[in-house]
Chains A and B, each alone.
Chain A
């Protein structure tokens, strides 16, 4: 549909002007992160202190129904809690005791702040400290905010990980911390690649169990696997750890650049790096090229969702032959996504924040071949004739590193291939 030829445009988008929007935001709040965090951290329980809306959001975002009793719940504030705050703390003690009694397997409890708990200034930090004393040492109790007034979607994970940093044991050893909740299979692949290069003392935040060793200190270096971890980045920096800046490990080039940055930090020789990465690189390239046929020469428009937008736009434009028209992101943290911006050709509009109706106007005007957007917008835009990719799937699916590069490409190409296949289907 679009015919934007950008062959002569220069590379490097770090300093292009950003379109800042402050209207209606069609995004999830940070509570949504609990959906994947509770699968990742297998002895943790997430107790949201909030309203019926919070509970309803969690069950709706979690795929509508739960199959087993999940390790998250909501302490729903009621009229009586709002009347007097002193009672709310006592109520919380009662609810936590009830919960831990029912789930003796829990080792780590997060009290998660919500919009209502923050508006009434319910002090969850104090609650966490008090409850920690009551339930130590069997359960560690921390708190963070997943509220919509403080956090957008994936920032919930950031807030959660940042809350864990101050309680990580101190270390003097030189260790590598991989930061970001990844599916186990992906995490193991990353660790295998780095171990094969001879890098030792690799630890992961968040770990799947509380008793697994994760420590931090002045000799710690850390690499982020997700671009939305700004607060965790700051918290780790405060503990003396040093960040390894790199593009994010999406696709073959992103993964190679990310691994290269870590390898350089550990002075891995080129021949070792090549030996370890050669076969998976070739596999990734092959998988991408096959799946990218449907993407080559097509245009893409990103609505803001997870903060993965910039690294993914980098991947689609530099590895799949797509043209980005607009890359919307809830927050643009140049310290984290700068390396990806550097690799991108100028041309796309970068927007931060959202005014959803205006953005839809721009999108309709631009007629992109593919729209990456949230679940609330996808079907309405499909009904207008656009091909869409639900952004949330990019957060819930294993998409990082070499072996998933083909799957990642497939997530974007499937809507286009599908539209092509059922083209003959009579319109409604």
Chain B
């Protein structure tokens, strides 16, 4: 039993719904109790989908448990076929149906439906949403894709985009453009926008672009092994990764690498003098593994930030995240407990968080700016405007999105100079966000303070030092306080005066 207040990932059948909902001509018959239909609203509300997810829930109740839930499943399956006339059906159980062991897959196969019936085994008590999406897409591909003649022109499949993905819709357009610029056509985009008939055509492509390992790694590996379809390993998020991606595509296809840089503004913006203030900004990166790895590399190599902490919530990508964290000299946090993530952020006191919507809320509580880089998604992650993460425009979007929450260069200095100015003080926040009265990190009562307070109660701040500390810019004040206390404790000091503060500052100077 695991005490859980909030979770980054839903159950695996929600992952299956993400695949089903992003496709056409496919129906999902889900053996599930009444109430599990809540998942529909994730798609209709968060993603503003204008159609109901193609999912029939059996919605059994207690009275059905006493009689015959198996018959209920079969009739739901038959009615779904009759009403929706899908090209293929996937069938499975949610957590409760898994316990009653009706075997939806077995039952559906005996019904003699004239279409492919694909059973899903998604262990609800062991695995989570991303596994569910990955496994479902893999099973669909395995059941439907058969060896086929290649297209005459060189084409690629884009695999991985699903419903409720972080900017998947816009990433598709961006990756299509990257390939089109090299003269490579698109065979199929799947699961998003594809039908079972399209899945059959997957093997006609010359290679796969694996856009999101979280949702299509298994399918990509299987197609490589069974159909001889190679796939790209680089995720084209960021300027460098986009170059590497194009290079990888070139190696797979023999086509000369080419990037149209006409609209690529990131490198110049990052070089321009205004960006000097970005140097060494301390960032904490958290989200799904794919986006975290991409973001950490951009942060270090393209923005000139210091990555002071990173991690992911999905264990499937833990190894790669650990490896990169090691390279960056930090320890990876692999956890799906947001309270642990919050403790970690509080301990390293970053100047910027790159995270999920949950880290954005953590940032609000701790008064640390945050840019969102990863699912789980919120309605805000489906902006009306075009805002990809991948490719050229993705890089531009990332530059803007990450810089926006920060205080601009000159403004940062002015805040320090005019600390006591009545309207231009640090607690007013960045001017381009409107002036908000915010309480600085070290002055607010913080609900987790019991276990998070790293300060040593034996060290006393003398009033003058305390006053001097208040003059330190608020976004590094928490760090300064902690460093000074650690410095004092290590030297067996019981009091902190102004000298201690500045000695600690010199000691920790970068």
Contact = CB atoms under 8 A, between A and B. Distances in A.
Interface of A: 23-32, 49, 51-53, 55-57, 59-61, 64-70, 72-79, 81-82, 88, 91-92, 94-95, 98-99, 115-116, 118-120, 147-150, 152, 357, 374-380, 382-383
Contacts of A79: 123, 125-126
Contact of B44 (A67, A147, A375): A375
B38 A377 contact: no
A147 B125 contact: no
Given A69-B447, A78-B1, A148-B36, A24 B124 contact: no
Contacts of B4: 52, 55, 73-76
Contacts of B361: 65-67
Contacts of A376: 37-38, 40-41, 44, 52
A78 B49 contact: no
Most-contacted residue by chain B among A68, A79, A379 (CB, 10 A): A379
A395 to B, nearest CB: 14
A115 B95 contact: yes
B286 to A, nearest CB: 15
A380 B55 CA distance: 14
Contacts of B114: none
22 contacts: A23-B79, A24-B57, A24-B76, A25-B37, A27-B34, A29-B34, A51-B124, A60-B38, A61-B38, A67-B364, A69-B339, A75-B2, A78-B1, A95-B3, A119-B65, A147-B33, A149-B60, A149-B65, A152-B35, A376-B40, A376-B52, A377-B44
Contacts of A67: 361, 364
Interface residues of B, number: 61
Interface in B49-107: 49-52, 56-62, 64-65, 76, 79, 83, 94-96, 99-100
B3 A148 contact: no
Nearest to B84: A357
Given A66-B6, A379-B50, 11 more contacts: A24-B76, A25-B34, A28-B38, A53-B11, A64-B46, A69-B448, A75-B4, A76-B1, A78-B126, A119-B65, A148-B61
Most-contacted residue by chain B among A27, A57, A68 (CB, 10 A): A57
A49 B38 CA distance: 18
A67 to B, nearest CB: 6
A340 B378 CA distance: 39
Contacts of A78: 1-2, 125-126
- List the 10 closest A-B pairs by CB distance, nearest first: A29-B35, A148-B35, A376-B40, A383-B50, A115-B96, A51-B95, A375-B41, A91-B1, A148-B34, A56-B10
B379 interface: yes
B1 to A, nearest CB: 4
A73 B375 CA distance: 21
Contacts of A56: 7, 10-11, 14, 39
A407 B38 CA distance: 27
B125 A380 contact: no
B128 A52 contact: yes
Interface of B: 1-7, 9-11, 13-14, 33-42, 44-46, 48-52, 56-62, 64-65, 76, 79, 83, 94-96, 99-100, 123-126, 128, 339, 357-358, 361, 364, 378-379, 447-448
Contact of A149 (B9, B34, B357): B34
Nearest to A375: B41
A427 B339 CA distance: 45
B6 to A, nearest CB: 5
Contacts of B448: 69
B99 A379 contact: no
A99 B9 CA distance: 22
Most-contacted residue by chain B among A26, A66, A115, A382 (CB, 10 A): A115
Nearest to A380: B52
B125 A379 contact: no
A24 B38 CA distance: 13
B247 to A, nearest CB: 39
Contacts of A147: 33, 35
Contacts of B100: 119
Contacts of B13: 53
A380 B50 contact: yes
Contacts of B36: 29, 53, 57, 148
Contacts of B35: 27-31, 57, 115, 147-148, 152
Contact of A53 (B34, B61, B95): B95
A76 B52 CA distance: 29
B51 A380 contact: yes
B33 A29 contact: yes
A76 B127 CA distance: 12
A60 B42 contact: yes
B49 A380 contact: yes
Contacts of B379: 64
Most-contacted residue by chain A among B9, B51, B96, B99 (CB, 10 A): B96
B7 A65 contact: no
Contacts of B358: 65
Nearest to B13: A53
B329 to A, nearest CB: 32
A148 B52 contact: no
A117 to B, nearest CB: 10
A78 B62 CA distance: 22
A51 B9 CA distance: 12
A357 B49 CA distance: 18
Given A64-B378, A379-B49, A77 B7 contact: no
Contacts of A98: 3
B37 A120 contact: no
A149 B50 contact: no
A99 B339 CA distance: 13
B227 to A, nearest CB: 33
A29 B64 CA distance: 16
B59 A25 contact: yes
A379 B53 CA distance: 11
A69 B5 CA distance: 8
B1 A53 contact: no
B367 to A, nearest CB: 14
Given A116-B95, A148-B34, A70 B5 contact: yes
Most-contacted residue by chain A among B13, B79, B128 (CB, 10 A): B79
Given A68-B447, A149-B65, A24 B7 contact: no
B57 to A, nearest CB: 6
Contact of A24 (B1, B10, B59, B65): B59
A24 B44 contact: no
Most-contacted residue by chain A among B4, B13, B38 (CB, 10 A): B38
Most-contacted residue by chain A among B35, B41, B99 (CB, 10 A): B35
A25 B42 CA distance: 17
Nearest to B12: A52
Contact of B7 (A59, A95, A377): A59
A75 B128 CA distance: 16
Contacts of B5: 66, 69-70, 72-74
B99 A82 contact: yes
Given A380-B44, A383-B50, A115 B10 contact: no
A73 B339 CA distance: 13
A68 B65 CA distance: 38
B405 to A, nearest CB: 17
A76 to B, nearest CB: 5
Contacts of A23: 79
B6 A59 contact: yes
Nearest to B52: A380
A88 B99 CA distance: 15
B447 to A, nearest CB: 6
